[in-house]
Amino acid sequence: MTNLSTFDPNSVGNPNNNIFGLPFTEENAALILLPVPWEVTVSYTAGTARAAEHICKASLQVDLIDTDVKDGWKQGFYMRDIDKKILMKSDYLRKEAELFINYISQGEEVLDNKFMCKIIKEINEGSEFLNNWVYEQTKELLHNNKLVGVIGGDHSTPLGFYKAIAEKHGNFGILQIDAHCDLRRAYENFKYSHASIMYNALEEIPELIKLVQVGIRDYSPMEYDYIKNSNERVSTYFDKYIKEQIYEGAPWRQIVDDIVSKLPQKVYISFDIDGLDPKLCPHTGTPVHGGLEAEQVFYLFKKVIESGRQLVGFDLNEVGFSPNEWDENVGARVLFKLCNLMVASKVNTHA
């Protein structure tokens, strides 16, 4: 156990400590955060590969109190160092991807260009490498009985973690906060695109028995058909539906109760920051008008925990960075809430 007798939670965040200025090591922290600096397949604005380091810096401004989870931080949160080799690989392949996206956006045929064929092969192989790396890292942490959260990067980053969760916990469901369905098959020819994460998860992980999406407001006809033909394996709460229900007098609590009822006992939270109103995340990779307030989402999460369901993992991704650190600040506060929820779920499950 970490000796907290000399640590002052009311003082300024110490940059010599870890995330949120906390004085924990990986060994004595209950929750380990794995940064995944990867954004190879982003299709609009880049920058999320360096989100974890920016969030960590901004986290020093977060006061250590969560009125829903008293002293949750005392369980210990620790973020691992960013793997520079992964970041370098992402930077290299990102440049390749930009060339490829520009090429196909002009209507050119990939098979007519050997160089483009080489690029797509390298990117897909790189993404498989990344998936395996995340799987091995998170599998080891879960084996050591750590709670685990992943910080992206783009939304393609947690697939390996999903697979480790499936091995550890068996059947589970994902609660996805997002502006997008991410149900495209090999979007832009990238098998493991950020826009294909949930499609790949559903196709490759049979233990993923339920996907509940909240805040969706930008999607393709194919994705809409996929949801309709999923035999209720996918339940999607479109932003338009949520807003219309509220406009007609439905309380958020009623909508939340319905969302929670769709979830199985074991729940994983996948939080794409663009699920929020873009005033909270203007520099996210693919912003879309509309969206949720942070407190709406936190209330939903609170009710998931209160329902007795077990939170088995989470990811936070697509956090951009800005000159005034606004996106990072919001990202850090979302991360603090997710960390507290994880330790609260552990306590409630073992109570």
pLDDT in tens, 221-236: 999 999 999 999 999 9
pTM for the predicted model, two decimal places: 0.95
Average pLDDT, rounded, for the chain: 94
Query: So what's the pLDDT on residue 187?
Result: 86
Q: What is the pLDDT of residue 105?
A: 84
What lies within 8 Å, CB to CB, of 99 at 6+ separation is 116, 119
pLDDT band, residue 165 (cuts 50/70/90): very high
d(CA 153, CA 172): 23
> How far apart (Å, rounded) are the C-alpha atoms in residues 197 and 38?
14
| 149 CB-contact burial (10 Å; exposed 0-12 / middle 13-18 / buried 19+) | buried
Is it the case that residue 351 has pLDDT exceeding 80?
no
pLDDT band at 139, cuts 50/70/90?
Answer: very high
Please provide residue 314's backbone torsions phi and psi, each rounded to the nearest 5 degrees.
-155, 160
The confidence band for 254, taking pLDDT boundaries of 50, 70 and 90, is: very high
Q: Which pLDDT score is estimated for 349?
A: 59
Whole-angstrom Cα distance, residue 104 to residue 101?
Answer: 5
What pLDDT is stored for residue 1 in this prediction?
Answer: 61
Confidence of residue 99 (pLDDT cuts 50, 70, 90): confident
Structure tokens, 150: 């992943």
Domain positions in the chain: 19-349
pLDDT of residue 350: 52
Task: Specify the long-range contacts of residues 257-262, CB closer than 8 Å, at least 24 apart.
Answer: 257/303, 259/175, 259/212, 259/214, 259/300, 260/300, 260/303, 260/304, 260/307, 260/309, 262/210, 262/212, 262/235
| Rounded CA separation 202/172 (Å) | 12
> Quick one: pLDDT at residue 185?
94
Domain 19-349 has CATH 3.40.800.10: yes
* Mean pLDDT, residues 255-259: 98
Per-residue pLDDT of 29-84, as tens digits, reads 999 999 999 999 887 777 889 999 999 999 999 999 999 999 999 999 999 999 99
Q: Please state whether the peptide bond connecting residue 275 to the residue before it is cis, i.e. omega within 30 degrees of 0.
A: no
pLDDT value of residue 109: 82
Of the pLDDT bands very low, low, confident and very high (cuts 50, 70, 90), residue 144 is very high
